[in-house]
């Protein structure tokens, strides 16, 4: 079984076993407030009329401000992190943050002329799911959900679903596929990641 098929088969179980566990200080109102602020900034970038490169820079800043980037990067690297050096982990985290900002920033750029709207909050085990609706011109509205936790000591989102697609599982599979193409060479995968997205 290759890495891609293994992830597809076992990803859900792996995600369930590594969900963030917070101190439970986080509540519905705080989770909603975080996503309200996040969505407000995303909508402002969408409406700004900035060039693509400037938008991606803005989305990277937003991702670093509101996202638990350390957790997301570590989850994406998965078991391969065990054999990575400290410098490789640091380089991967930096490259991954840029990659994820470009990739999902490109998706949010599709919202130009539309908006994200927060709908509601629900507690799920040790985190909160904040549901938003994306309203795009000429398209039916669809869901964009953010999972929020305070495991890092701050209220941050650690996962996102766009039209039911799980960011954490998707990116773990993508990074695994990149490593497979490079025959497990972490440095080459990081170099590829800097240009991806």
Q: Are 182 and 192 in contact (CB under 8 A)?
A: yes
Residue-by-residue pLDDT tens, the chain, 197 positions: 444 444 444 444 444 445 555 445 799 999 999 999 999 999 999 899 888 889 999 999 999 999 999 999 999 999 999 999 999 999 999 999 999 999 998 888 888 888 899 999 999 988 999 999 999 888 899 999 999 999 999 999 999 999 999 999 999 999 999 999 999 999 999 999 999 87
Query: Integer distance in angstroms from the first to the last C-alpha of the chain?
Result: 27
Q: How many CA atoms lie within 13 A of 41 on its CB side?
A: 18
- For the record, the structure tokens of 52 come out as 């693509």
Which pLDDT score is estimated for 20? 52
Question: Three-state SS for 79?
Answer: helix
Q: What is the pLDDT of residue 14?
A: 46
Q: Is residue 69 part of a domain?
A: yes
**Is residue 112 a part of any domain in this protein?**
yes
| CA neighbours closer than 13 Å in the CB half-sphere of residue 42 | 27
> In whole angstroms, what is the distance from residue 197 CA to residue 193 CA?
8
pLDDT score recorded for residue 5: 47
Would you say residue 45 lies in a domain? yes
Strands 115-124 and 127-135: antiparallel
CB count in 10 Å sphere of residue 92: 24
CB 4 within 8 A of CB 101: no
In the 8-state DSSP scheme, what is residue 67?
A: B
pTM (2 d.p.): 0.83
- 15 exposure class (CB count in 10 Å sphere: 0-12, 13-18, 19+): middle
How many domains does the chain divide into?
Answer: 1
What is the residue range of 190's domain? 3-11+21-195
Q: Would you state the pLDDT for residue 24?
A: 55
Nearest to 31 by CA among 117, 182, 132, 156: 156
Residue 16 lies in a domain: no
Query: Considering the domain boundaries, does residue 80 fall inside one?
Result: yes
CA distance 182 to 2: 14
Residue 55 lies in a domain: yes
Residues 5, 23: Cα–Cα separation, whole Å? 35
Q: CA 138, CA 126: separation in Å to the nearest integer? A: 37
CATH code, domain with 93: 3.10.450.710
């Amino acid at each position: 079984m290759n890495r891609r098929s293994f992830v597809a088969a076992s990803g859900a179980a792996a995600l369930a076993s590594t969900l963030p566990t917070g101190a439970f200080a986080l509540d519905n109102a705080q989770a909603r407030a975080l996503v309200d602020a996040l969505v407000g900034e995303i909508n402002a970038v969408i409406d700004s009329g900035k060039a693509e490169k400037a938008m991606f820079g803005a989305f990277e800043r937003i991702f670093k401000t509101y996202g638990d980037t350390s957790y997301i990067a570590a989850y994406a690297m998965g078991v391969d992190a065990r054999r990575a050096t400290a410098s490789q982990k640091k380089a991967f985290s930096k490259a991954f943050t840029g990659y994820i900002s470009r990739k999902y920033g490109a998706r949010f750029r599709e919202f130009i002329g539309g908006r994200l709207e927060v709908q509601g909050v629900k507690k799920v085990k040790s985190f909160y799911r904040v549901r938003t609706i994306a309203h795009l011109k000429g398209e039916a509205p669809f869901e964009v959900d953010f999972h929020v936790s305070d495991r890092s000591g701050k209220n941050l989102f650690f996962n996102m679903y766009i039209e039911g697609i799980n960011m954490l599982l998707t990116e773990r599979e993508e990074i695994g596929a990149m490593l497979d193409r490079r025959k497990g060479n972490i440095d080459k995968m990081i170099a590829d990641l800097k240009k991806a997205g």
